[in-house]
Amino acid sequence: MTVRVRFAPSPTGMFHVGGARSALQNWIYAKQQGGVFVLRIEDTDAARNKPEWTEGILSALDWIGISRGSYEGPYFQSANAGEHRAAATRLYESGRAYYCDCTREDVQARTGSQYQGYDGYHRDLGLGPGPGHALRFRTPDEGTTVVVDLIRGEPTFENKLIEDFVIARGDGSPVFLLANVVDDMTMGITHVIRAEEHLPNTPKQQLLWDALGVKPPVWAHVPVVVNEKRQKLSKRRDKVALEAYRDEGYLAGAMRNYLMLLGWAPSGDREIVPWSVIEDEFRLEEVNPSPAFFDEKKLRAFNGEYIRALPVPEFIDACQPWLTGTGTLAPPPWQPEEFDADAFAAVAPLAQTRIAVLSEIVPNVDFLFLASPLIDEAAWTKTMKDGSADLLDAAVAAFEALESWDAESLKSTLEAVGAERGLKLGKTQAPVRVAVTGRTVGLPLFESLEVLGRERTLTRMRAARLRLV
């Protein structure tokens, strides 16, 4: 039997990091088993679907390494509507489902409670199809439904506690539970690997598989992804869009690595490992069922490690979207003609060790490409104290006299200026850094001054001195 797994997102918004985690787990499992990864777009919610969301899903999958052409699909759930309706009809004709026209208010009036589920009122009344008549599945009165789950063992559900649930609405359109089952049957899905939030629906879906005469798939419900307060990640509250991380400058390799650690870990005391190791060592049955904490600080640290591991030419290439403002990224504060590729290449190794996401490259190097630096006023106020004017005057004079404009000469010269005033280098270089770069932190100062050049450095220092008058 060929293993066939599916990833079935809805095109109703940005691509959730939890969905990306599930996609990767399905992808790896299919590869390990010599199977097939199927992409199905569950687009039946026409009111919320947008074509751009579908394209966003495809692009996000491309980015994390599940590229177009390497999987089966995408299929669209809406194209299978005929099969959904046919399955509903079979269930009705076989006596496994019945029609009901009860409203929520009707049920509440009979049961005296707004919290009690459907009471089975129409089970044996023989109501036929018609406008406003929903189709309900006839859940067995006795016994249990056992869900054999590769991660959670054998969760067991008492059938009497499962209400007769709706499988088709009053207008005849099947609901998610039935459509999902029919699609999986049609596509020959053998393993359903999905988020824990779907587990409560699983006994209902397994009953549908049984009623339609097909053996259910192998189930595996991966842990819910939570924030630092151990709340399920929410689009309304948390940063969950994969595209947002991509556009901020997270590397796909770092994101893949981190997502796979949400509920699982490679052998040994390792977390950052080559993708080939993850593909080889990942075992679905070893996934921890406990909630998985999505720690953005840890992801950021991961990304910094991945950035530092890049060969410098690859790092330079990776920074280009932020340096040029291509695609959906915001343009940098300089004009295209002001950008100096050679100057950037000179400082790239310095910047590579200091940034955690690629978007941070812009504030680290903008001073190189602007006519004058963007002054951080808080940094100016903090740094330009009494004595700064004298120090800048002395530094300008000393730098003007330099025969060799290189980092080592600049450093030793400024050290001497500071020593004459009883200052250590850190205190001495702070006003110079703010004058030249506009900030108190950034790339190593003297290497930066070397690349910026004598004329531009001195011009900025003189301008800062005039501001102190």
Please give the positions annotated as active site: 235
CA 254 to chain centre: 11
Look-up of token digits 């250590």: 424
**CA–CA distance, 6 with 9 (Å, rounded to integer):** 10
Is residue 325 within 8 A of residue 362, CB to CB? The reply is no
Q: How far, CA to CA in Å, does 403 sit from each of 339, 394, 399, 406?
A: 28, 16, 9, 9
Residues 337-370: b if buried by 16+ CB within 10 A, e if exposed: eeeeeeebebbbebbbebbbbbbbbbbbbbbbbe
Amino acid of residue 352: Q
**CA–CA distance, 23 with 2 (Å, rounded to integer):** 19
Residue 359's DSSP bridge partners are none
Residue 166's DSSP bridge partners are 136
DSSP state of 292: E
Look-up of token digits 């006596």: 95
Q: Please work out, in degrees rounded to the nearest 5, the angle formed at the alpha carbon of residue 270 by the alpha carbons of 255 and 262.
A: 45
102: part of which helix (H) or strand (E)?
none
Residues 6+ apart with CB under 8 A from 467: none
